[in-house]
Every structure is written in structure tokens, then in C-alpha cells.
Homo-oligomer: A and B are copies of this chain.
Amino acid sequence: METAEGGRQSRPPAGAFLLYSSLLINALFFAHYFLISPTGLDDDDGGSCGLSWALKAAREAEAVAAADCSGHGQVFLDGVPGDDGRPGCECNTCFSGANCSLRSPNCTADANSGNPMFLEPYWTRHAAASAVVVSGWHRLSYRTTDGLFQSVELENHIRRLHGAVGNAVVDDKRLVFGAGSTQLINALVHALSSPPDDGSAPASVVATVPYYPPYKEQTGMFDGRKYRWDGTTDTWANATTHHNSTTKNKTIIEFVTSPNNPDAVLHRPVLASSAAIVDHAYYWPHFTHIPAPADEDVMLFTMTKLSGHAGSRLGYKTWALIRDEKVAKRAYEYVQSNTMGASRDTQLRMLGVVKVMLANLHGDEDIFAFGHDVMRSRWRRLSAVVSRSRRVSLQEIPPQFCNYFKRIREPSPAYAWVKCEREEDEDCYEALLKANIITRSGVGYGASSRYTRVSLLKSDDDFDVLMERVTDLVNAEQYEAPDDSSSM
């Protein structure tokens, strides 16, 4: 540089100063761009932006997510790689092709499972806030903060969420995390039964029809000596009214689901004498109005239906709020001896998810407003078509005042509880299956086979296919004789 500028003594220095300054700034920019940032040279747009070890993982995740699946599928980091070494699109049901752009005609609608995919678009919109980086050394240990198996910070945030939504009284309750609701159901039945060696009769586990089938199935599967499935509440309600001697010293554990799965009705325990386990999986403003904070002795909640993270299945995704300290301790010990707590990876991710929900309450991006919009619109569309039918009908749900939204809200249930009205459609599940709609028969819920459950929780694509098949079914009514349903 000095040599090149050597011959310029006689000229006024202003231009030269400008030139030198400009060149110096050039040099600084170059230095910053290509020397200080070690990855600058091989990046498309340079710079490590101050990141070191997390940069590679962040780039990989964004590169994978950028793939085009036509809005009918997703690419996942741990998908099976194709010939190009990258994972390909995993298409939604009824879609196929490398970019999920091909739609199968007359595809069967699968409305069986309660897979809460309706919330996926919410998390895609909140990508930055809900992403989390898990380092290779993150919580290797069996134990977490203060030697506990439960995350203190996650518990604090869940308590805050209940308070802000106003759907549960938490201050006088212990919070116990379980690894999935199956485990927690068993932990609670165990905690509410008498100790194994006290010689008392087994506790009776009961529920009101229509009930969520796993309560019966799980109680049977674990086949414990201190409790057994013992039918439905109507039998016991009569017995207890008449002060029947057989019920006097008996422990009755009543399962209550509120709002109820399948029919969305808000329930309270019906047996005054029983210990109740109240499942509030759907007691969030997506799915129901919130008349008041729930305050039962033993309450169950789950992340699956709240945030939609069903795939994080095991791990801190299900929790119980328990008033009695001894019952809480027995439940905690059961969970701990069974699994030594749950996945720290999932716990970390769920903490991020709860933080996003909390930060957006009552704002433009409120997850409950989003969820309610989607589910209300689905219920409206389904109701409009079914109202034209004399063959199938839906449960009635009135609009109700919601303490969270501070207004009357339209219904937005998770499931349609469909009744087949024609005499020959005794098996409603079969009747809908013939119309290429997969549902879940009412029989498993302790109800008549005239009923079947239709899930409204799945993806937009799933719901669109469901609407097509239901519309076909209803449209066909005008062209057929009432006894000709088998030809559908």
C-alpha cells in the first residue's frame, strides 16, 4: 500500500484521506468477514454470527425444514434418507409422491385416533420461539435439579399456565409427573387403593357410560390384587342410595372425564362416597368453555391435547394435581420406582412449549384462540352437512359463556359422538365403515353400537377427506331407499 501511494506528495490530501479511509474500512470488513468468522469462506452468505457448536445443528434443522412437501407432508430430521442422502417428505394420509402433491381419489377417511395434529400449524408459525437446542451433554444424569426426578422449572410454568387460564386451582395441590397417562392412571389407582397387606377387599374401579375405554382396559391389564374394574356408576348410585351394606366399607374409585371423551359433556363425580380421579385432558379453551377453575381432589392433565405434542408420549407430558399429601407421595413413589422419572430431553422441549403458550395468552397468537377457531370451524362444517341427514345425527352442544375468553363461545368439541338413526344401522361403526369412514365404536365406551366416535382432532387434510366422505354419505340419502344402505 505505502509503495503504491508513494508518488502523491504534491496533491491536496482530502481525496487521499478519503481513499485511505475507505480502503481501511474495506480491509476491516474483509478481515471481519473472512478471518474473524471462521466459517465465512464456505458459507453462502458468510458469518457464524457469534455461534460455535450450535451452528451446525441449526443449519441442518433449517435445511431439512426448508424442503417443499406441497403443504401435505413434513420432512423430519430423523426421517429415512433417500438417494440424495437427505430425508424425504413424509406425506399426510391420502397424499403421495416425492413432494406429497398427489392426492388419492376416494381415499378412506381415518377418524379413529385422537391424534391432535390440528395444532401443527401453530407450532410452524412459532418456529423461532418453540425451537430448542439439546446439547450432547444435556442432563446425562439420572437426577435433575436438587436430586429430584421432576423438573422444578417445568412444574412452575405449568402451575402458572393453570393460573392464567383459570382452569384449575393449583395452590393447595401437589403436582406429580407421569410417563404417559397409562402409567399415571395406574399410579393413582394404586395410591387410592388400600395398602397390599391390610386384608381389606379390593377397591372397585367404576365410571359413567359412555366412558374412555382405557380406564377399564388398564385396570384389567395390570390385574392388581387390590383393585378391580367393577362396572358403571349407575349400578353403584342405586346401591349407595339404599345404604346397601355391601357398599358401606368399600373403597370405590370413580373415573370422571370432563369434558367427557367421547361426547364433550362436563361431568362431576356422581358417587358422593367415592374417591374420584377426574381426567381434565380436554378442559382447555380449545375444546370447551371454562365455567370455573376445577378443584377436585385428584385431577389429571396432559400435554398431548393441550399443545398437541402426542409424539413426546413418554416423558413429562402428563401430570396429576393431588390435594392429599399422602396420596401424592404414594403416586410419586410408584412413578419413580417404575421408571426413575422421565426423559429430560422431552422435559426441556415441553418447558419451551409452555413458555410460548404463556407468552401469547390473550394476544393475537393465543394458542387457545387458534385452537378454538380451528375446532369451531370444523364443528360448524360437520354440523351443517349432518343437519341435512336423517340417517346420522350428532350430539347437541349449546354455546356457553367462557371465563377464559370472557364471552359466549361456540362449541368446538374434540370428537363427534355420532348416532345412526336408521333401524337397520344397528352397528353404526360398520355403517360408516361401508361409507369409507373409520371411526371408533360406541361399544368400547360402554354405550350402544348405535353410537360411534369420530375424531375431529387430526390434520386439516384428514378433516377435508372426512368432510368429503360424510358429504358423499349424506348426499347419497336422497338417491336410495332407506333399506339400501349396504350398497354404499
Residues on A close to B: CB < 8 A? 8, 15-16, 18-19, 22-23, 25-26, 29, 32-33, 36-37, 39, 43-62, 65, 74, 76-81, 87, 90, 113, 115-117, 119-120, 123-124, 126-145, 151-154, 156, 179-180, 182-183, 221, 223-225, 308-315, 337-349, 351-353, 356
Contacts and interface: CB of A to CB of B under 8 A. Distances in A.
B134 A53 contact: no
A133 B131 contact: yes
Given A61-B133, A311-B142, A345-B315, A339 B29 contact: no
Contacts of A15: 8, 15-16, 19
B58 A133 contact: yes
Given A26-B25, A339-B314, A345-B346, A137 B115 contact: no
Given A312-B345, A343-B314, A345-B315, A65 B135 contact: yes
Contact of A19 (B18, B25, B135): B18
Given A130-B135, A140-B116, A145-B90, A62 B57 contact: no
B311 A132 contact: no
Most chain B CB neighbours (cut-off 10 Å) among A76, A131, A142, A347: A131
A314 B79 CA distance: 21
A77 B138 contact: yes
Given A120-B137, A123-B136, A142 B310 contact: yes
B311 A344 contact: yes
B313 A74 contact: no
A53 B47 contact: no
A50 B45 contact: yes
26 contacts: A26-B26, A45-B47, A45-B50, A47-B47, A52-B127, A54-B131, A61-B133, A78-B139, A78-B153, A78-B348, A78-B351, A87-B153, A115-B141, A123-B137, A132-B133, A132-B134, A136-B356, A141-B311, A180-B339, A182-B339, A313-B344, A314-B339, A314-B346, A315-B315, A343-B343, A345-B345
B315 A131 contact: no
Given A136-B123, A339-B179, A345-B345, A314 B311 contact: no
A415 B234 CA distance: 58
Contacts of A347: 78
Contacts of A25: 22, 26, 29
Nearest to A18: B19
B314 A60 contact: no
A140 B152 contact: no
Contacts of A43: 49-50
| For the complex of A and B, 5 pairs with smallest distance between CB atoms | A130-B136, A47-B47, A53-B127, A123-B136, A61-B133
Given A22-B23, A131-B133, A140-B123, A312 B52 contact: no
Given A22-B19, A123-B137, A339-B182, A52 B128 contact: yes
Contacts of A56: 128-129, 131
A312 B308 CA distance: 21
A203 to B, nearest CB: 16
Most chain B CB neighbours (cut-off 10 Å) among A39, A131, A137: A137
B141 A349 contact: no
A182 B136 contact: no
Most chain B CB neighbours (cut-off 10 Å) among A55, A136, A141: A136
A52 B91 CA distance: 25
A315 B317 CA distance: 13
A204 to B, nearest CB: 19
A81 B157 CA distance: 12
A56 B133 CA distance: 10
Contacts of A50: 43-45, 59, 62
B53 A128 contact: yes
Contacts of A79: 145, 153
Nearest to A353: B136
A197 to B, nearest CB: 13
B129 A142 contact: no
B131 A80 contact: no
B145 A80 contact: yes
Contact of A349 (B129, B154, B345, B351): B345
A62 B55 CA distance: 10
Contacts of A57: 54, 58, 128, 131-133
Given A55-B128, A76-B348, A343-B343, 15 more contacts: A37-B47, A51-B55, A54-B133, A58-B58, A78-B139, A78-B348, A79-B153, A116-B140, A117-B141, A124-B137, A142-B311, A312-B345, A313-B344, A314-B342, A345-B345
